[in-house]
Amino acid sequence: MNYDIFQGDALQTRDTRISPFFHTDCMNKALSSAVKPGEHKLILKKPAAKNKNAYPPCPLVAVGAVVFKNNCVLLVRRGQAPSEGLWAIPGGSVEIGETLQEAAEREILEETGIRIRAGKPIYTFDVIDRDAEGKIRFHYVIVDLAADYVSGQPAAGDDADDARWVSAHEISELEVSPPTLRLLKTSFGFGG
Do 156 and 80 fall into the same domain?
yes
DSSP code of residue 176: B
The Cα-based distances of 11 to 14, 21, 45, 143, 152 in angstroms read 10, 26, 14, 48, 45
Do 36 and 73 fall into the same domain?
no
What pLDDT does 157 receive? 85
Would the CA dihedral through 138, 140, 146, 149 be positive or negative?
negative
For residue 54, being part of any structural domain is answered with: no
- What is the b/e burial string over 59-82, where b = at least 16 CB atoms within 10 angstroms of the residue's CB? ebebbbbbbbeeebbbbbbbbbeb
Whole-structure pTM value: 0.72
What pLDDT does 82 receive? 86
Question: Residue 83 — very low, low, confident or very high, per pLDDT cuts 50/70/90?
Answer: confident
What pLDDT does 20 receive? 36
For 172, list phi and psi in degrees, rounded to 5.
-70, -15
Question: Residue 159 — very low, low, confident or very high, per pLDDT cuts 50/70/90?
Answer: confident
For residue 53, being part of any structural domain is answered with: no
**How crowded is residue 91: how many other Cβ atoms within 10 Å of its Cβ?**
26
Do 97 and 8 fall into the same domain?
no
Q: Which residue would you say has higher pLDDT here, 7 or 58?
A: 58
Question: Residue 50 — very low, low, confident or very high, per pLDDT cuts 50/70/90?
Answer: low
CATH number at residue 126: 3.90.79.10
Q: Which residue would you say has higher pLDDT here, 98 or 34?
A: 98
Nearest to 62 by CA among 70, 75, 53: 53
Number of domains composing the chain:
2
What pLDDT does 12 receive? 40
Whether 6 has a pLDDT exceeding 80, the answer reads no
Do 181 and 114 fall into the same domain?
yes
Do 89 and 181 fall into the same domain?
yes
For residue 52, being part of any structural domain is answered with: no
Whether 21 has a pLDDT exceeding 50, the answer reads no
For residue 145, being part of any structural domain is answered with: yes
For 184, list phi and psi in degrees, rounded to 5.
-65, -40
Do 89 and 116 fall into the same domain?
yes
For residue 17, being part of any structural domain is answered with: yes
Residue 88: give the domain boundaries.
60-188
What pLDDT does 37 receive? 54
Do 111 and 157 fall into the same domain?
yes
For residue 50, being part of any structural domain is answered with: no
Q: Which of 22-31, 40-49, 74-83, 177-186 has the highest mean pLDDT?
A: 177-186
Would the CA dihedral through 144, 148, 153, 157 be positive or negative?
negative
Do 127 and 173 fall into the same domain?
yes
Do 88 and 165 fall into the same domain?
yes
What pLDDT does 27 receive? 37
